[in-house]
Amino acid sequence: MTDTLAQFAVEIASGAIRVVDLTHTLDPDFPVIILPPEFGQCARFRMEEISAYDHRGPGWKWHNIHLSEHTGTHFDAPSHWISGREVPNGDVDEISVENFVGPVVVIDCSAGAAKDDDFELTPEIILAWEGQHGRVPTDAWVLMRTDWSKRSGAEYLNMQSDGPHSPGPTPEAIRLLVEDRDIRGFGTETVGTDAGQGAHHTPPYPAHYILHGAGKFGLQCLSGLDQLPPTGAVLIATPLKIKGGTGSPLRVLALVPGGET
Ligand code: MN
């Protein structure tokens, strides 16, 4: 094991293993999910200066920050959803840390999402992907690439008169990944693990409902999934240790074999 880690450090230093950032910058302008007005709302990121080398602190600069557990690129814990409320160790501070480092596969849905804002990941797409790349490994992160992270402003939430329109998985796709493939979690480049119109599925918001009910995790507002290979990368996603937290903003990194994109 010592040799393995020494070799790992050498390969990081040489660039044989590349470290890829999959995180949006925390910025007051970055959109957060908007729920119907009768519900409580998620806060945007906000930062205030405590001092900046001035009379408030002559030798130092620092800020207070305000945000939701679900602001920006963030992790969803099982306790986020009612289906996961009884899951043991379902809060971010209770999840065993081995879960924060692990294999990741990427299903490229970018061509479909470019043509259809409501594009859905289906079991057929997953099975076709497996025909090319092999079975989705047990306990892997599965990321749905849509290139949605290249959007900004109003185009990101894509709010219409009947609510937001953005890609996501069908209930059947999530069931296949959770019940048959026993994945670790599911991540997207959109504001939720569910489609913008996910409320109309049965169950409503099937990714949240099925993933968290089974003790699985979510990642949302990921960026730059076009930098990852379909298989062979390792994801590092470590939520803040918030007592009783249902999720957390975080820096998501991928370790990618050099030369591959
Ligand atoms: Mn969330």
141-170: average pLDDT: 96
Is the confidence at residue 259, as pLDDT, over 60?
no
Distance 3 CA to ligand 1 centre (A): 38
Q: What is the mean pLDDT of the chain?
A: 96
Q: Which of 73, 138, 77 is nearest to 103 (CA)?
A: 138
| Span 45-89, pLDDT tens digits | 999 999 999 999 999 999 999 999 999 999 999 999 999 999 999
pLDDT recorded at residue 2: 73
Q: Show Cβ contacts of residue 55 under 8 Å, excluding neighbours closer than 6 positions.
A: none
Q: Which 3 state secondary structure label does DSSP give 202?
A: coil
Distance 211 CA to ligand 1 centre (A): 12
Decide yes or no: CATH 3.60.150.10 for domain 18-257: no
pLDDT recorded at residue 97: 98
Active site residue 208: no
Sole residue written with tokens 């209770």: 94
Residue 261: band (very low, low, confident or very high) from pLDDT cuts 50, 70, 90: very low
DSSP structure class, residue 178: I
36 vs 97, more confident: 97
Cβ 218 vs Cβ 239: under 8 Å: no
pLDDT recorded at residue 173: 98
Could you tell me the residue ranges of all domains in the chain? 18-257
Q: Show Cβ contacts of residue 68 under 8 Å, excluding neighbours closer than 6 positions.
A: 32, 42, 43
Distance 77 CA to ligand 1 centre (A): 8
Q: Which of 260, 258, 259, 251 is nearest to 223 (CA)?
A: 251
> Would you mind telling me the total number of residues written for the chain in this entry?
261
Distance 257 CA to ligand 1 centre (A): 29
| Span 161-205, pLDDT tens digits | 999 999 999 999 999 999 999 999 999 999 999 999 999 999 999
pLDDT recorded at residue 260: 43
19-31: average pLDDT: 97
Is the confidence at residue 30, as pLDDT, over 60?
yes
**Catalytic pick from 24, 74, 80, 208?**
80
Distance 8 CA to ligand 1 centre (A): 32
For residue 182, the tally of other CB atoms under 10 A from its CB is: 14
This prediction has a pTM of 0.96
Whole-angstrom distance, CA of residue 182 vs CA of residue 34: 30
